[in-house]
Amino acid sequence: MKRIALLGMPNTGKSTLFNRMTGAAARVGNWPGITVELLSGKILLGGDMVEIIDLPGIYDLHGFSDDEQVVRHFLRDNVPDLALIVLNATQIERQLSLLLQLKQLNLNMVALLNMADEARKFGITIDTARMTEALGIPVFLLSAKYGAGYSEAMQASGRALRYVTPGLAENLRDQLKQDGQIENEMARVLQHSVQVPARLPDNLTGQLDRLMLHPWLGLPIFFGIMYLLFQAIFFFGQPLQTGVNALFGWLREAAIAPLLAFLPAMLQGLLLDGIYNGVATVAAFVPLIVLFFLFMAIVEDTGYLSRAAFLMDALMAKMGLDGRSFVMLLMGFGCNVPALMGTRVMRSRPLRLLSMLVIPFSLCSARLQVFVFITAALFSPRAAPLVLFSLYLFSFASAILTALLFKRYFPSSEPFLLELPPYRFPTLRQMALRGWHEVQHFLRRATKFIVAGVVLVWLLTHLPPSAAPASADTLAGMIGAWLHPLFDPVGITSELTIALIFGFVAKEIVIGSLAVIYGLGGEALSGALARQLDWVQAYSFMLFTLIYTPCLSTIATLRSESKNAGFTLFSIAWSLALAWVTSLIFYQTARMLGY
């Protein structure tokens, strides 16, 4: 099978092109360094089945960041049959240098000048015929976002695959031209094929940045936008969640229960009260999670998160971090795993380790499921978005406190460079792919962690057979009683303790395990929690869930990215200790005040 590699600088639209080519749902975010792993997909091109590989974005082949090393090692060990070099047409003067470096490697290449629609708006004209003649490689204008020029580029790529790959130069570094020679060739190519206005016209980006990057108003605007995002999730999501709950309840009574009526009572309990209730309760949150990612896709792909990183850089520097660390914290809102992998763009190992220490405090989408359920059960519709927003603030506070306490052990002097791309609005296709990706992610986890988790919880709450289900005499009751002295001071009951234990595997299991423990699902489970807990206990439980040990996937990624078992164990121990102390302070203070 032939192989095509996508190469280019960060923020050139490589992942958007990859999605268009493969139909896959690779993460697309409008900030540098989003592609952090070798995504691949298979397509039929020019009569051949080929594998498309999306390589991390790099600025040049001289660098020593993890991403730059990944690209060099890939090109050395897996010479592609064709390299598609994706450049940002609006920054052609700066990006051409990477193309010329790659040209020296003797690769079979096609150059794609992406964001051609934006280049036209800025008055930039590029003569691709002259550039093709000057470079000696095919050059095409393209808009991967809207599809303009895509068919011509793919036809050219199919034709280029017919040529035999010349073979990579033996020594990557020795084959690169001196910087002066590359600059001379850049000047020659640009002179004959590119016309850039002496001054780009004022545009919406400049006007918005005067407000969004205002030294006093910038941060309040950012947090205001995030708060409105949570309000929108509750406003649009709760009716959908209620509908899905009702659908699963009807399906159980009308079809599933009659279908399983012939089975022994204990097996019926496992299938209905265990697996079905647990998975159905978690599945009811799919609409909320999809909405969250749709809204976040708009915020990310517009380029606003890069502005947030710029605004936060001065504050982050006081904590031993930088604006990129803040971007990774925001990425962690979706999932901690890709956020941890995103630290590869950092050249300084101490900076990377400190960033990895704080990222697990990001309120990920799995925790969001828990918090949405608890807040809907115990807080009014008006208070629920404010409670959720306060948890996000606690998420940032935990990360800031951790960075301040440990920055002396991870000193870094790496300069912070960040590109501020123009504002863009994601297409409906991009948002649909993002939402579908999250549904797929949920279904994959539902078939592994969630089902296995709720089955194990059901066994713990029903064994030994002589004990009453979910009573103190079951295995779960014994575990809860043993841990009671530790969790009672923070207001966490035995039932919630069992859910926290399973949340260590995956936070999605927490709500499903509660459904199994109580033998209830949907609205019935919400009512049971509201009767057993007051708002102080509920908030203390959510604080602990927010801060304590991340899921197994995050821990595994932390171990592989840090390459240090001791650092991983320290991260786990610190998050557990901080969670307990934070919940203790909140719970005991609230009780002292009479709540």
Q: What is the pLDDT of residues 526-566, one digit of tens each?
A: 899 999 999 999 999 999 999 998 888 889 889 988 989 99
- Distances 575 to 324, 360, 483 between C-alpha atoms, Å: 22, 9, 18
Q: In which order are the strands placed within the sheet that holds 48-54?
A: 39-45, 48-54, 2-8, 82-88, 109-114, 139-141
Residue 110, both tokens: 């096609």
Name the packing angle between helices 179-193 and 92-103 (round to 10°).
Answer: 120
Better-predicted residue by pLDDT, 172 or 394: 394
DSSP state of 313: H
The DSSP-derived string for 354-384 is HHHHHGGGS--HHHHHHHHHHHHHHS-TTTH
Residue 222, both tokens: 């950012």
Where are the domains positioned within the chain?
Answer: 2-195, 219-410+431-592
- 320-329, 425-434, 484-493, 546-555: least confidently modelled range: 425-434
- 115-119, 131-135, 507-511: least confidently modelled range: 507-511
Q: What pLDDT score does 200 carry?
A: 47
Residue range 388-420, pLDDT digits in tens: 999 999 999 999 999 999 999 999 877 666 667
Cα 526 versus chain centre, distance: 29
Residue 92, both tokens: 């052609």
Distance CA 28, CA 302 (A): 11
Residue 278 confidence (pLDDT) above 60: yes
Helix (H) or strand (E) holding 309: helix 304-317
Of 534, 517, 523, the closest CA to residue 595 belongs to 534
User: For residue 28, which amino acid is it?
Assistant: V
Residue 448 confidence (pLDDT) above 80: no
Which residue's structure tokens are 């901690």?
A: 336
Would you say 251 and 279 are in contact if contact means Cβ atoms under 8 Å apart?
no
Of 82, 84, 58, 80, the closest CA to residue 70 belongs to 58
Of 443, 446, 432, 447, the closest CA to residue 25 belongs to 432
Better-predicted residue by pLDDT, 232 or 254: 254
Q: What pLDDT score does 592 carry?
A: 95
pLDDT above 90 coverage of the chain, percent = 31
Q: What pLDDT score does 31 carry?
A: 47
Q: What pLDDT score does 406 carry?
A: 96
- Which residues, other chains included, contact 520 with Cβ-Cβ below 8 Å and sequence gap of 6+? 277, 528
Of 321, 293, 294, 296, the closest CA to residue 309 belongs to 321
Residue 204 confidence (pLDDT) above 90: no
Would you say 292 and 366 are in contact if contact means Cβ atoms under 8 Å apart?
no
Of 335, 483, 321, 299, the closest CA to residue 404 belongs to 321
Phi, psi (deg, nearest 5) at residue 46: 60, 30
Phi, psi (deg, nearest 5) at residue 585: -60, -45
b/e per residue, 392-422, with b = 16+ CB within 10 A?
A: bebbbebbbebbeebbeebebeeebebbbbb
Please compute the mean of the pLDDT values over residues 254-283 and round it to a whole number: 86
Alpha-carbon radius of gyration of the chain: 27
- 43-57, 69-83, 331-345, 460-474: least confidently modelled range: 331-345
Would you say 393 and 401 are in contact if contact means Cβ atoms under 8 Å apart?
no
Please compute the mean of the pLDDT values over residues 432-454 and round it to a whole number: 71
The DSSP-derived string for 132-187 is HHHHTS-EEE--TTT-TTHHHHHHHHHHHTTSPP----S-HHHHSPPHHHHHHHHH
Would you say 305 and 31 are in contact if contact means Cβ atoms under 8 Å apart?
yes
- Quote the mean pLDDT of the chain: 84
Percent helix, percent strand, percent coil in the chain, to nearest 5: 65, 5, 30
Which residue's structure tokens are 């115990």?
A: 378
The DSSP-derived string for 464-532 is STTSPTTSTTSHHHHHHHHHHHHHGGGT--HHHHHHHHHHTT-TTHHHHHHHHHHT--HHHHHHHHHHH
Would you say 192 and 130 are in contact if contact means Cβ atoms under 8 Å apart?
yes
User: For residue 154, which amino acid is it?
Assistant: M
> Band of the pLDDT at 24, cuts 50, 70, 90?
low
Name the packing angle between helices 428-445 and 14-22 (round to 10°).
Answer: 70
Please compute the mean of the pLDDT values over residues 259-288 and round it to a whole number: 83
pTM given for the model: 0.73
Which of 288-292, 345-349, 410-414, 567-571 has the highest average model confidence (pLDDT)? 567-571
Residue range 48-79, pLDDT digits in tens: 889 999 888 888 887 767 778 888 888 888 88
- 21-30, 34-43, 410-419, 566-575: least confidently modelled range: 21-30
Q: What pLDDT score does 165 carry?
A: 67
Fold of 2-195: Rossmann fold (3.40.50)
Q: What pLDDT score does 395 carry?
A: 95
Give the side-chain half-sphere CA count within 13 A for 552. Answer: 13
Of 572, 570, 573, the closest CA to residue 552 belongs to 572
pLDDT above 70 coverage of the chain, percent = 90
